[in-house]
Amino acid sequence: MTRKKKSKKHKLVGGFLRLISLLIAIGLIISCIAQFVPPDKFWPPAFFGLSFLIWFVANLFFLIFWIIRRARFAWIHVACLILSLHLFSHFIPLKGSKSSDKLPASISLLSYNIKGLAGVNSIKSSGLSDSLFNFIKNENANIVCLQEYTERRRENKPPAELVFKSMDLDHFAKSAYFKNKEVARLFIATFSQFPICNKIEVHSDHRLIALITDIVVEKDTFRVFNVHLQSISFNDENYRFLMEAQQNISSLQSDSMQQDSKKIFWKIRTGFIKRAGQARLLREIIETSPYPVVVCGDFNDTPASYAYHTIKRGLTDAFMEKGKGIGNTYFGNLPKIRIDYVLLHPKFQCQRFEIIKQTISDHHPVKAVFYKKKYDE
């Protein structure tokens, strides 16, 4: 091969790599912008936000590649990575803040999507009640917020409310997701050691998305939002497809698998759109709250999403303040991501935050310890 042909080939390869590199840089920028774009108005950026970490790592790879090649093209990735660092800190905290051992009078809150006590890889109850109760008892939280809570009676066992009362969680409020379903009803439920003086239900599309409780601690009242936004609503068939696709990517070329891929895509898209409206509804209620708020629960969306940033506006993410490592709270059949949160009003100071590696559900519970700031803080 002549030098001229080699030079031409190198130019083609170099041009192709620059094109791929540029597209990946653009992908990262779009994934950062996704948090500001309502999916019910324009949904494509939401998919970029969902894959933010992939775009971030890909940009990091090309940055190293171009540095090794001593190419100025590396500066594009430097700029993109700097712009995305703040969003990256929502996935892996960059502050390095330590938990405080010297705690003033504080409140501990545990939030957990227990998946109807169905366990990790099932949609039917597996009798995990005792494991759940023992776990909650050992955590000794002042407030327990449960999503997909069930009241399935266990043979020769006391009702769940009595068990919670034995843990000093004497006060509780609960509401069913769907009022018209009498069989296997699921609830959003809040249990508290402190008095609950008010309960408000928030519905969207005929479904409960949040249970609001006003909780009295000594002379102060604050409002707890126990939230569960719209899920993707995958069924067993969808999960089987995803597992088969992971094991054999070439199978995606078949007509039936392509049809299943489209179903998955449209379910994810529908989830983005519904959560956008639900998030705005909650934002309006948060802004009109007469009390400082604590928002917790299963948002079914990542920290790069429009729904998360709409709800979080003006609040502090406890994970960003006191969390450590990769903040994955979901570990089921889908990619491991952070979708469970505790958000605090500026009047509260977070002291500790923990993602507890408990496997009763396909979610990990999250726990925050916080206190109300004094006026001079």
- Shared domain for 188 and 50, answered yes or no, is no
Tokens of 269: 């898209």
Quick one: which H or E segment has residue 295?
A: strand 293-298
Tell whether 97 is covered by a domain.
no
Domain boundary among 88, 123, 148: 88
Which residue, 53, 88, 123, sits at the end of a domain?
A: 88
Mean pLDDT by 10 residues, the chain (377 residues): 62 85 97 97 96 96 93 92 95 72 78 75 53 88 93 64 81 88 76 96 93 94 97 70 60 62 86 96 97 97 97 96 88 83 96 90 93 73
Q: Nearest to residue 53, comparing CAs of 77, 76, 96, 84?
A: 84
Same domain, 130 and 65: no
pLDDT score recorded for residue 8: 67
Q: What is the pLDDT of residue 377?
A: 52
Q: Is the dihedral of CA 42, 28, 233, 134 positive or negative?
A: negative
Residues 348 and 249 in one domain: yes
Same domain? For 273 and 228 the reply is yes
* CATH number of the domain encompassing residue 216: 3.60.10.10
Q: Which residues contact 73 (CB under 8 A, 6 or more apart)?
A: 18, 21, 66
In a domain, 94, yes or no: no
* Same-domain pairing of 57 and 182: no
Among 234, 312, 303, 240, residue whose Cα is nearest residue 271: 234
295's CB contacts (< 8 A; 6+ apart) are 224, 225, 227, 282, 286, 311, 315, 341, 342, 343
CA-atom Rg of the chain in angstroms: 23
Structure tokens at 75: 């500066």
Q: What is the 3-state secondary structure (H, E, C) of 316-336?
A: EEHHHHHCCCCCCCECCCCCC
What pLDDT, on the 0 to 100 scale, is given for residue 93? Answer: 87
In a domain, 46, yes or no: yes
> Do 62 and 141 share a structural domain?
no
- 75 lies in the same domain as 125: no
Q: Which of 33, 55, 88 is the last residue of a domain?
A: 88
User: Are residues 275 and 350 located together in one domain of the fold?
Assistant: yes
Domain membership flag for residue 204:
yes
Residue 102 within a domain: no
Residue 246 lies in a domain: yes
pLDDT of residue 308: 98
Of 276, 346, 337, residue with least CA distance to 311: 276
CB neighbour class for 148 (10 Å; exposed up to 12, middle 13-18, buried from 19): buried
How far apart are the two ends of the chain, measured CA to CA in Å? 73
Query: Residue 361: inside a domain, yes or no?
Result: yes
Token digits for 15? Answer: 């041009």
18 lies in some domain: yes
Residues 181 and 249 in one domain: yes
Q: Are residues 66 and 123 in the same domain?
A: no
d(CA 140, CA 106): 13
Q: Are residues 78 and 115 in the same domain?
A: no
The verdict on 195 and 332 lying in the same domain is yes
Specify the number of domains making up the chain: 2
Which residues span the domain enclosing 14? 3-88
